[in-house]
Amino acid sequence: MILTVASGKGGTGKTLISTSLALSLGEDAQFLDCDVEEPNGYIFLKPEIERSVTIYLPKPKVDIKRCSFCGRCRSACHYNAISVIKPGNKTTGKVLFFYELCHSCGACTLVCPENAIYEEKEEKGSVEIGTARGIFSFIQGKLKIAEASPVPVVKAVKKYIRKDKVNIIDASPGTSCPVVEAVKGADFCILVTEPTPFGLNDLALALEMTGKIGVPSGIIINRAGIGDNRVEDYAREKGIPVLLHIPFKREIAVSYSKGIPLVGIFSEYVSIFKKVFERIKYEILKHREVYE
């Protein structure tokens, strides 16, 4: 089973939920930190990292002596990352690659009739594999600093998904490509929000995303008690289950800031998260009955 913990708004408590859910399920779980721009699950799970795998992607380069400036690479590039300047009176011919736009799809290399484009390996980040608290597997992706797209590293982390485990994926905030990649293929998505206008606005965006991907979702309201009831009203209106309320408590924030997970300070949350997990299993079955 794959459960992705996502949110529209940042700082709502994805890692608070995902780490404590993993700790509650223990040896049945596996934790995958797909927030590769700033993975922080390790702060709470304190894993022993056993190995690290470097992620490389191809980077196109041109052998300008072979180039005929036909421009097919430029037309083939879906991301507008190539400019071909034909030789003119004053200038020599040039092929410019804009690597921050390149997605390493390989189309330019494929279409070049002169075989003038070749690929070099470029480091994009790494995946670290270890064990959390000696109980369950811990995998985290780390995007190389200054790299623009986290998606290849998220994909690399997802290769460690195991069918016989409850795979808990901690996604990055928002609704952009890396989040879509972290949600894609999940059996269920937990959306963590807070009962504020910001929380509601971004929750609606996140629900639109999970709806489009076709992954059933449930909501966890963190910092319950602040703000208003509009998140609840919205969930009811959309028919999205609210799985849990976590009250706004100073002790939670204080312990979290010291790297202590929620279940580490309030042990009753172990059984609460187990119940949430049972509810999620029920919701997945319900979704399958409707859609399959």
Partner 1 sequence: MKICITADGNSLEANVDPRFGRCAYFILYDTETDTFEAIPNTNATGMGGVGIQNATMMAEKGVEVIFTGNLGPNAARVLQQADIKVVTGLTGKIKDAVENFKKGSLKAIPAATPTVLPHSGMGGKKQ
Binding site for partner 1 (CB under 8 A): 74, 79-86, 88, 90-91, 94, 96, 98, 101
Q: Which is nearer to partner 1, 91 or 115 (CB)?
A: 91
Q: Which is nearer to partner 1, 88 or 134 (CB)?
A: 88
Q: How far is the CB of 72 from partner 1 (least distance, A)?
A: 13
Q: How far is the CB of 89 from partner 1 (least distance, A)?
A: 9
Q: How far is the CB of 276 from partner 1 (least distance, A)?
A: 37
Q: How far is the CB of 68 from partner 1 (least distance, A)?
A: 15
Q: What is d(CA 229, CA 233) in angstroms, rounded to the nearest whole number?
A: 6
Q: Which is nearer to partner 1, 101 or 265 (CB)?
A: 101
Bridge partner residues of 121 (DSSP): 58
Q: Which is nearer to partner 1, 96 or 253 (CB)?
A: 96
Q: Give the Cα-Cα-Cα angle 151, 156, 161 (nearest 5 degrees).
A: 120
Q: How far is the CB of 71 from partner 1 (least distance, A)?
A: 8
Q: Which is nearer to partner 1, 69 or 234 (CB)?
A: 69
